[in-house]
Structures are given as C-alpha cells and as structure tokens.
Amino acid sequence: MSDRLLRHALEDEETLEQPEDRPVEDLEALRTELQSTKDELRKAKETSEGTLNKLKYLMADFDNYRKQMERQLASKAESIKAELLLRFLGIRDDYVRALSVARQAKSEPVVIEGLEGILKNIDSMLALEGVREIETVGTPFDPNVHDAIAHSERDDLAENTVTAEIRKGYMLDSKVLRPSLVEISKKIVKNSVSDTKQDDRGE
C-alpha cells in the first residue's frame, strides 16, 4: 500500500470517529443552551408578572381616583345647585308676600290671576328640579326638618305637634334644602289640688 493510500485510509478513519464524538458534545451544548433558555424564560415570566401586577395596582388606583373625582364633582354640582335654589326660594318668599299684599289691596282679579299663574310656574320649575315642601302643620315635630322657634300651650294636641308654619321648608331630593320654621304645641301644666293646698299653707 502506497503512502498516499495509507494517508487516505487514516483520514477516513478520523472522519468515521468524529461523528461519534460530536453528538455527545452537541448534546451537552444543547442541554446547556436549553437550561439557559429556561432560566431566561423564567426570569422573563417573573418580570412580566411583576409588571402586570404593578399595572393592575396602577389601574385600581386610577379607578379609585376617577371615582373620587366624580364624587367630588357631583357633590360640588349639588352644592352649587342647592345654593342657587336657596336664592330662588328667597325670591319666591318675596313674591308670595307681594301676592298677599295685592290680594289684601283687592287688586284687579285679572292681575291676581296673572300673579297666581306665575307662582304656579315657579312651583312647577322647583318641582322639576326635585324641590318639595316639608310637611308641617299637624305633624309631629322632627328636628331633622323643622326648626322650632315658638310654642303654644295646647291641651287638644299631643305635645311637640307642629301647630303653625312660620316659614316654609323644602327638601331637595332626599336632603334638607331649607328647614321649616315652626311653632309647636306644649302641654298646659296644671298643679294638682294637693299642691295648691300645700302652696296655700306655705309648705
């Protein structure tokens, strides 16, 4: 066998041996790469979960902030509305007094009818805005909606019954817009006969 043939034979032998060694090396490299990829994937998953949780918290905070701002704006709008309606009620009070004077002065019936028609329109507008009168005369005194500024001694009514309305009060939806100024009943206190006799004896 010539040297050339011998050299070719040795090269072929090396070529045949290499495929057996390479798969082991390639397999280890693949395992290492797979483990590295798994580690990177786990870290990426942890990072994405952390970011997602932060985003959820931010969204919840923003939603709470939005709701709080909506409540504040609604409360501010209600407050402004109540203030305007209170001023309007003051004008209504003046108008009712003027109408009463016109009636007492026996003005022309057509004038009285016109003024009464305007008052009805005012009351209709107030009703559309959610304003309603507070019940007073004949009802039990309620400190939540009534302000007692006078009292009268009455035996024919239960104590703390509203006997007269001094100024109309109004509700705006479910809240007191203006409390009613009222007079309430008080029982007449009578001394017993024995108390009278004791007083006569100076005891």
| pLDDT of res. 40 | 87
Q: Which two structure tokens, joined as six digits, stand for 143? A: 């400190």
pLDDT of residue 32: 85
Model pLDDT, residue 192 = 57
Taking CB atoms within 8 Å and a gap of at least 24, the contacts of 186-194 are 186/151, 186/152, 186/153, 186/154, 186/159, 186/160, 187/153, 187/154, 187/155, 187/159, 188/153, 188/154, 188/155
**How would you write the pLDDT of the chain (203 residues) with one tens digit per residue?**
455 555 555 555 555 444 455 666 778 888 888 888 888 888 888 888 888 888 999 999 999 999 999 999 999 999 999 999 999 999 999 999 999 999 999 889 999 999 999 999 999 999 999 999 999 999 999 999 999 999 999 888 899 999 999 999 999 998 999 999 999 999 877 765 545 444 555 54
Question: So what's the architecture of 132-189 in CATH?
Answer: Roll (2.30)
Residue-level pLDDT at 166 = 95
Q: Say what the pLDDT of residue 1 is.
A: 45
The per-residue pLDDT for 5 is: 52
User: For residue 37, what are the CA distances in angstroms to 16, 52, 76, 80?
Assistant: 33, 22, 57, 63
Report pLDDT for 44. 87
pLDDT value, residue 16 = 47
The per-residue pLDDT for 33 is 83
Could you state, in order of their start, the residue ranges of all structural domains in the chain? 132-189
The amino acid at 143 = P
> Residues 118-127: contacts with CB within 8 Å, 24+ apart?
119/92, 119/95, 122/92, 122/95, 126/85, 126/88, 126/89, 126/92, 126/170
